[in-house]
Structure 1
Amino acid sequence: MTQKITTYLWFDHQAEEAATFYTSLFAGSRIVRVQRNGDAGPGEAGTVMLVEFELAGQRFLALNGGPHFTFNEAVSLYVDCEMQEEVDELWARLTADGGEESQCGWLKDRWGLSWQIVPSRLPELIADPDPGRAGRAMQAMLRMGKIDIRALEEAAAAG
């Protein structure tokens, strides 16, 4: 079945490099198709125009569209992580080689694309029916860059 809605990412000229990197991060990921420019353009014949790829079964398109547009925080990719080790690995790999750490589980990769690397435990803790536990977990999260599950749980329990 074809995915009805697909995220379309605009890169200057690094679409294939980015798609290759992203597919290395998640099991069940792959490059589906690389479309090259023909003699009619829009880019130089033979260069990559569009890359179709899947991340954990979700389809994406990456375009080499030139420097006209760049990413900003208005759009991010949210990754639900089961374990702290997954948070740690993704955080390290996505911030490497020019990526930027931010706060509350957000970061930018080296191409400027925003990601939220969030352990599944975070929404559980901040939605705790005990408002004190939920509030302490929220306050702890607001002081974090990379989310630390153990620190969140300790903060929630510290009432």
Structure 2
Amino acid sequence: MQRVSTFLWFDGRAEEAADHYTGAFADAKILDTQRALDGGVSTVTFELAGQRYIAYNGGPELSFTGAAISPHVECDTQDEIDTLWAALTDGGREGPGGSLTDRFGVTWQILPTTLRKLLDNSEPEAAGRVLTALHAMTRIDIQILIDAHDQPCL
């Protein structure tokens, strides 16, 4: 199963934006909040009228351009990631950490469903290793993320 969501890049205001948007719509709710190692909010997943949005505190590098607002697709399997990646990069280009820009200039985030579990707040060191591995990739390799998570602490 694949799930498509809209990915919104913020400079430190993801939680504020999610609260604002969910306050503006009657049929809205916060689904999940992920925290960074420093305790600040990194990602807020919320729903407006049945549509999921991912608000991410990515920093000042992007403003609301094609890369800052992008469809976010969660895939259950490596095969789903590989198939979708191949289709969307045809005539487009790969980007970092599971992002790509298609031939029309639309930036997409193609990530595994299991990433949410791998970034669980109860294991900040493991989550840090997963994020390091994620940011070193273009097309996501689920097994590499799992291996980074499961790596024993030194």
Q: What is the TM-score of this pair, normalised by structure 2?
A: 0.55
Q: Which residue number in structure 2 is paired with residue 73 of structure 1?
A: 67
Match of 1:92 among 63, 86, 93: 86
Match of 1:134 among 127, 130, 139: 127
Distance of 1:145 and 1:127 partners within structure 2: 22
2:87 partner letter: R
Q: Which has the higher strand share?
A: 2
Q: Which residue number in structure 1 is paired with residue 99 of structure 2?
A: 106
User: How many Å apart are 1:132 and its aligned residue?
Assistant: 1.7
Distance of 2:97 and 2:142 partners within structure 1: 12
Higher RCO by CA contacts (8 Å cutoff, separation 6 or greater): 2
- Write the mapping of 1:1-159 to structure 2, written as runs, cut at 5 A: 72-96=66-90, 98-159=91-152
- Deviation track 1:61-120 (CA, whole Å, cap 9, x = no partner) reads xxxxxxxxxx72121011111111000000011001x21100111001111111111110
Q: State the number of aligned residues.
A: 91
- Point out where structure 2 has 5 or more consecutive residues left out of the alignment: 1-5, 7-50, 52-64
Distance of 1:94 and 1:74 partners within structure 2: 18
User: How many Å apart are 1:128 and its aligned residue?
Assistant: 4.8
Distance of 1:153 and 1:99 partners within structure 2: 28
Q: Structure 1 runs of 4+ off > 2 angstroms?
A: none
> Sequence identity of aligned pairs in percent?
43
Bigger-Rg structure (1/2): 1
Distance of 2:85 and 2:120 partners within structure 1: 24
Q: Which residue number in structure 1 is paired with residue 28 of structure 2?
A: none
Q: What is the TM-score of this pair, normalised by structure 1?
A: 0.53
> SS where residue 67 of structure 2 aligns?
coil
1:154 partner letter: D
Distance of 1:129 and 1:144 partners within structure 2: 24
User: How many Å apart are 1:126 and its aligned residue?
Assistant: 1.5
